[in-house]
A and B are shown apart, each in its own frame.
Chain A
């Protein structure tokens, strides 16, 4: 499609807005007022990495119904195997045994694939070059999807994921269980610090990753009588593995 077709009806629409606002059309960037208060910056300001980690673990386990495991880089393969094996045994259906691993270099560098297979896990590593069908099929059949998070938010028990070639959107979406790995150094107080990174990216003229997800625990609903049910269309289970690397 050509450009005009990709942007339709804009002029008249915006002219009308200017008209109802009773002024000429505004085409220059207005001065964006600075936020009036700093209360969002003050949440958990000055907390140490250990305090943030503790808060993340506490909120995740108590409010989200997810598991949080603190471990070290050296133990990651063992801890990850155990987490995946637990889901293999506990999940609801029998079809599909695979674990889908993100191909993110930070994840791949941190684990020993042999150790995972020796533990009895069959693995699929995300591979964009194989295209949509192969990757979707693998994720659809898998029990567990393992991803690496850019950041974690202590206040809300949130994992921040950017879509990327090595780590598709559906790894943390189609399998019944999600395992997130995040270094302790990437834990920040709240959404404020995560959006700050994105604002900086934007200022530097970079395109946003096409899909950024802030994920807090497994999927849930309260649409029937306001009763919370964990596990709707997204994952039913979630484990956060925090690498205590500092």
Chain B
């Protein structure tokens, strides 16, 4: 899968998604639960604003000194006995990894969930070499078995499928005979692919955060598949977006804490694994060979642009879990591996406006994403910037330019839309009439027409949501999900 997950137009994708009632209901339920879990976890920790501020500053400092920290990281990895390849493009990254696979005469590769490997379309390259590649994260496994169905959420990729659909997929594709019980299906996958871990020549993972000072790659997971993929095969290849690092373990503490609480509402996920180079020569499990592939693929252009704040992102999906647009259209409508507010900002930057020009319009200006982001990325501001850039470069159709013009008008008058969610909601109030946008913006119109936005009664989306929550009662306990990158 590359960045782009569909050849249908934005409108067609939304039409398809809108017909899927299960998807819409499940997204709504999931959002509520994940939103509440995150809020509870932030509150339980206390001083959440201070934590966020630290997260922001750490990530900011790294971006400002990125060349230094990448040099330090790569020196350290080599010193520890590993290999480092700097890939400017997706093609270079694939080329290097293909080279390693060939050199190792690899036949079977186990992967743990990694967005950046999706971004560079790695699986296709691996299969092209005649190798077998198994996605081992349960959600990714479901999608892979289902003829590579695109993910709908950056943390819970198969969120759009219900248990019966999953049972049917397993039945048809991998000979599953059991019921649609999630536990039974999970155990089936455990048994079914255990041998793959034992037989694999190479394990490929992403990297949540590298630690520059020590040459360490950390993985934040729950299922144990990333541990298997980095303990059993003789070779480990970690692929990381070039911005995904921190200076030392001291900062790792802060960003991992923010990630786990924001993503799954827990102090820590089941496994936080810090891997440093290949195994020591006197040890007998763990990889003999370690490769770190550091990927630019458009990130340096972002770093030099007015969109650089998005590079602070730690892929927690808190913004996705609070976004009313995501709630209405579902993750697959974005047509990108990155969905929700982070996807709407990132996809046009990494994949180009041509393919993703509608995404910055999938936003109701509620600003709820800005409020939950653990590293304080001003997501809705960045979405407005996209609209402006597209309007200026006349990239967008006429109707959309008119809309962007409107947003320019609002954007140029901060008093109109203020800094708080409350104020944001008031702007939404002004722009949403009878639950519909006052202007018709091609595809956006379709979803505003067909699906009511949160009622613009002066309440912010969040307080609207909270009210809903209170009437819903307490139905969730201890959800967990894997969220690697």
Contact = CB atoms under 8 A, between A and B. Distances in A.
Interface string A191-215: 1101110110010000111111111
Contact of B279 (A199, A210, A216): A210
Given A21-B64, A228-B480, A233 B166 contact: no
A16 interface: yes
Contacts of B34: 226
B9 interface: no
Interface in A209-231: 209-229, 231
Interface stretch (A70-78, A79-87, A127-135): A127-135
A188 to B, nearest CB: 12
Contacts of B30: 226
Nearest to B185: A224
B284 A234 contact: no
B216 A37 contact: no
B248 interface: yes
A231 B187 contact: yes
A105 interface: no
Given A92-B187, A221-B223, A229-B182, A9 B46 contact: no
B279 A211 contact: yes
A140 interface: yes
B92 A17 contact: no
A234 B228 CA distance: 8
Contact of A7 (B84, B284, B285): B84
Contacts of B92: 9
Contacts of B94: none
Interface residues of B, number: 117
B267 A195 contact: no
Contact of B285 (A153, A168, A231, A234): A168
A19 B266 CA distance: 40
B271 A234 contact: yes
Contact of A40 (B51, B65, B166): B51
A40 B230 contact: no
A160 B214 CA distance: 18
Contacts of B267: 155-156, 190, 216
B97 interface: no
A164 B280 CA distance: 8
A223 B138 contact: yes
Nearest to A33: B61
Given A28-B68, A209-B276, A210-B276, A233 B190 contact: yes
Interface string A45-63: 0000000000000000001
Contact of A9 (B87, B161, B228): B87
B285 A39 contact: no
A32 B482 CA distance: 31
Contacts of A35: 54, 57-58, 250-251, 254
B84 to A, nearest CB: 5
A226 B303 CA distance: 35
Contacts of A212: 273-276
A148 B230 CA distance: 21
B138 A232 contact: yes
A7 B250 contact: no
A109 interface: no
Contacts of B276: 207-212
Interface stretch (B10-18, B70-78, B419-427): B70-78
B231 A234 contact: no
A169 B86 contact: no
Interface in B119-176: 136-139, 142, 156-159, 161-163, 166
A190 B139 CA distance: 29
B255 to A, nearest CB: 11
A214 B271 CA distance: 6
Contact of B282 (A1, A28, A165, A232): A165
Nearest to A10: B86
A22 interface: yes
A19 B276 CA distance: 30
Nearest to B184: A229
A114 interface: no
A198 B66 contact: no
Interface in B183-197: 183, 185-187, 189-190, 193-194, 197
B283 A202 contact: no
Interface in A1-50: 1, 3, 5-10, 12-22, 25-30, 32-33, 35-37, 39-40, 42-43
B455 interface: no
Contacts of A5: 83
Nearest to A17: B67
B479 interface: yes
Contact of A156 (B215, B252, B268): B268
A64 to B, nearest CB: 8
Contacts of B264: 222
A173 interface: yes
A224 B86 contact: no
A165 B285 CA distance: 9
A37 B47 contact: yes
Contact of A225 (B26, B82, B214): B26
B158 A30 contact: no
A117 interface: no
Nearest to A92: B187
A239 interface: no
Contacts of A235: 224
A88 interface: no
Contacts of A190: 257, 267
Nearest to B301: A20
Contacts of B407: none
Instruction: Report which residue of B51, B278, B280 has the largest number of chain A beta carbons within 10 angstroms of its beta carbon.
Output: B280
Contacts of B80: 207, 210
Nearest to B213: A202
B207 to A, nearest CB: 14
B473 interface: no
A223 B67 contact: no
22 contacts: A8-B84, A10-B70, A16-B300, A19-B304, A36-B50, A36-B57, A37-B54, A163-B280, A191-B257, A195-B250, A198-B249, A198-B274, A199-B249, A199-B250, A202-B213, A207-B277, A210-B280, A211-B275, A212-B274, A218-B270, A223-B156, A224-B182
Given A9-B87, A199-B248, A231-B186, 6 more contacts: A7-B84, A27-B68, A30-B61, A158-B268, A207-B277, A222-B480
